[in-house]
Amino acid sequence: MRKSITLISGLAVLSILSLAGCKTELEQVVNLGYLPPFTLPDSLAITYGQQTQFALPAEYQGRADVRLALSFGDNPRLKLTATDSLKDVLARAITVDQATRRVSIDARQLYPTNTLSVLNGVRTPRTYLATLTATSVNGFQPVKSRFALRVLPAQLTIAELNTTDKIPYGYGIYDGKPLYYTIKYAGLDTTGTTLDLHVSGRPDGKVVLAGKRVQLAADAGDPTRKYEWTYDMTPMLFKNGYQVAYRQFRVVLMPKPKFFFGTYYSAYDLIVLQNRVVIQLGKSYTSAAPTFYPDKYKGSFALKTIEKDGQPYTDSGNIFSVDAATGKVTVAPNTVLAAGSYKVTVQTQSTTGLMLETALTLVMER
Output 239 or 65, whichever has higher pLDDT: 239
Q: How far apart are alpha carbons 22 and 19 in whole angstroms?
A: 5
**C-alpha torsion angle, residues 363, 364, 365, 366 (rounded to 10):** 170
What is the number of other CB atoms lying within 10 angstroms of the CB of residue 271? 13
**pLDDT score of 55:** 87
Q: Which helix (H) or strand (E) holds 57?
A: none
**pLDDT score of 231:** 96
9 — pLDDT class (breaks 50, 70, 90): very low
Report which of 210, 226, 204, 216 is spatially closest to residue 172, judged by C-alpha positions.
216
Set out the domains of the chain in order of their start, with CATH numbers.
43-152 (2.60.40.10), 155-254 (2.60.40.10), 258-365 (2.60.40.2710)
**pLDDT score of 352:** 84
pLDDT above 70 covers a percentage of the chain that reads 92
**pTM summary value:** 0.76
181-203 per-position pLDDT tens digit: 999 999 999 999 999 999 998 88
DSSP 108: G
Where would I find the beta strands (DSSP E) of 27-178? 43-47, 51-55, 66-71, 94-97, 102-106, 128-136, 143-152, 154-155, 157-158, 169-173
Give the 3-state secondary structure of residue 361: strand
**Mean pLDDT, to the nearest integer, of 336-347?**
97
Chain centroid offset of residue 72 CA: 30
Output 363 or 17, whichever has higher pLDDT: 363
DSSP 34: B
32 — pLDDT class (breaks 50, 70, 90): confident
Task: Name the phi and psi angles at 25, rounded to 5.
Answer: -65, -40
| pLDDT at 341 > cutoff 70 | yes
Q: How far apart are alpha carbons 302 and 161 in whole angstroms?
A: 25
Which runs of consecutive H residues, i.e. helices, occur in the chain? 2-31, 86-93
Residues sharing a CB contact under 8 Å with residue 198, sequence separation 6 or more, in sequence order: 233, 234, 236
**pLDDT score of 237:** 98
28 — pLDDT class (breaks 50, 70, 90): very low
**Mean pLDDT, to the nearest integer, of 141-152?**
94
Q: How far apart are alpha carbons 296 and 169 in whole angstroms?
A: 15
| pLDDT at 17 > cutoff 50 | no
**pLDDT score of 139:** 84
Q: How far apart are the first and last CA of the chain?
A: 154
258-296 per-position pLDDT tens digit: 999 999 998 888 999 999 999 999 999 999 999 999 898
158 — pLDDT class (breaks 50, 70, 90): very high
289-328 per-position pLDDT tens digit: 999 998 989 999 999 999 999 999 999 999 999 999 999 9
Using left for φ > 0, alpha for ψ between -120 and 50, and beta otherwise, residue 49 falls in left
Report which of 174, 182, 266 is spatially closest to residue 217, judged by C-alpha positions.
174
Give the 3-state secondary structure of residue 25: helix
pLDDT above 90 covers a percentage of the chain that reads 74
Contacts by 203-212, CB closer than 8 A, 24 or more apart = 206/231, 207/231, 207/233, 209/235, 212/182, 212/183, 212/184
| pLDDT at 63 > cutoff 70 | yes
Task: Name the phi and psi angles at 60, rounded to 5.
Answer: -95, -5
**pLDDT score of 163:** 75
**Mean pLDDT, to the nearest integer, of 87-115?**
96
